[in-house]
Amino acid sequence: MYYWISELVTLSGIIAALIIGKSVWITPKGAWFPKFVAAGLGCMALGCLHDAVYLFITGHYADDICIGHLGVIGCFLFLISASYGQLDGIFDDRSKQTRKYRLLALLAPLVMTLIFIPALRADHLSPVTKAVNFIGWIPMIIASYFNFKHAILPDGGFAFVKAARPYNITATLFGFVEVVELTMYLLEKPQMVVISAVLLAATACGMMFFAKRGAEQWTI
């Protein structure tokens, strides 16, 4: 029951987030980065919908490989595309002055590693489950690096960079919450999974809201 509730909470939050940002992702005009964010949330929504239906019918997640987990992987791949493909060239000029921020940004994946990796040592997990979740965790830490780097880099006088900073802060939190939720699931703590789902829904809404606000000031 707890897991089913968590899927519904997450799904509801993501749907709300997509509604919040519909004016910037549903139109062919404007910046592409909020469209990538929306596509990522759409992937996660489909994964949540699959898992919610599966849980309702069977009462448990699928053994070893959960199809809904592909939605999470797809979500963070799109977030990487939004950050690396759309924003990184604007935020980071690869100069010596920004080197310290690139190094400092490594703290985000490091903290995610400290949170998540110990969960993979749980004796009750099968090798397949560990491998699948490890693969899904990799896009999360890559996305966290770029989101955190863009959150701490100076704006350089660019209005858009300053406007997009709240998005990057919220996207970093979104990634951390997802890692915590996945960790709590692997450690079989259903109440904590529900709490994480509430936070995930809230950060998804915040992420889309700030992506929309940043896209509305897409001027370099």
DSSP for 116-177? HGGGGG-TTS-HHHHHHHHHHHHHHHHHHHHHHHHHHS--TT-HHHHHHHHHHHHHHHHHHH
- Residue 94, classed as helix, strand or coil, is coil
Per-residue confidence band for 4, with pLDDT thresholds at 50, 70 and 90: confident
- Residue 77, classed as helix, strand or coil, is helix
What pLDDT was estimated at residue 57? Answer: 85
Average pLDDT over residues 185-200: 92
Instruction: Look up residue 62 and give its DSSP letter.
Output: P
Q: Are 78 and 40 in contact (CB under 8 A)?
A: yes
User: What mean pLDDT value characterizes the chain?
Assistant: 87
What pLDDT was estimated at residue 213? Answer: 87
Cα–Cα distance between 189 and 62 in angstroms, integer? 17
Cα–Cα distance between 142 and 148 in angstroms, integer? 10
Give per-residue pLDDT as tens, 42-85. Answer: 999 999 998 888 888 887 776 667 777 889 999 999 999 988 88
Domain spans in the chain, listed from the N-terminal domain onward: 2-215
What pLDDT was estimated at residue 122? Answer: 80
Q: Are 183 and 116 in contact (CB under 8 A)?
A: yes
Instruction: For residue 78, give the nearest of 118, 154, 25 by alpha carbon.
Output: 25
Per the structure block, which two tokens stand in for 130? 């560990």
What pLDDT was estimated at residue 67? Answer: 77
- The answer to whether residue 219 scores a pLDDT higher than 60 is no
Cα–Cα distance between 76 and 67 in angstroms, integer? 16
- The answer to whether residue 220 scores a pLDDT higher than 60 is no
What pLDDT was estimated at residue 64? Answer: 64
Per-residue confidence band for 198, with pLDDT thresholds at 50, 70 and 90: very high
Average pLDDT over residues 124-141: 86
What pLDDT was estimated at residue 63? Answer: 67
CA triplet 135, 139, 145: central angle to 5 degrees? 135
What pLDDT was estimated at residue 181? Answer: 92
Q: What is the pTM of this model?
A: 0.91
- The answer to whether residue 15 scores a pLDDT higher than 70 is yes
Average pLDDT over residues 135-157: 89
What pLDDT was estimated at residue 46? Answer: 93
Per-residue confidence band for 218, with pLDDT thresholds at 50, 70 and 90: low
Per-residue confidence band for 136, with pLDDT thresholds at 50, 70 and 90: confident
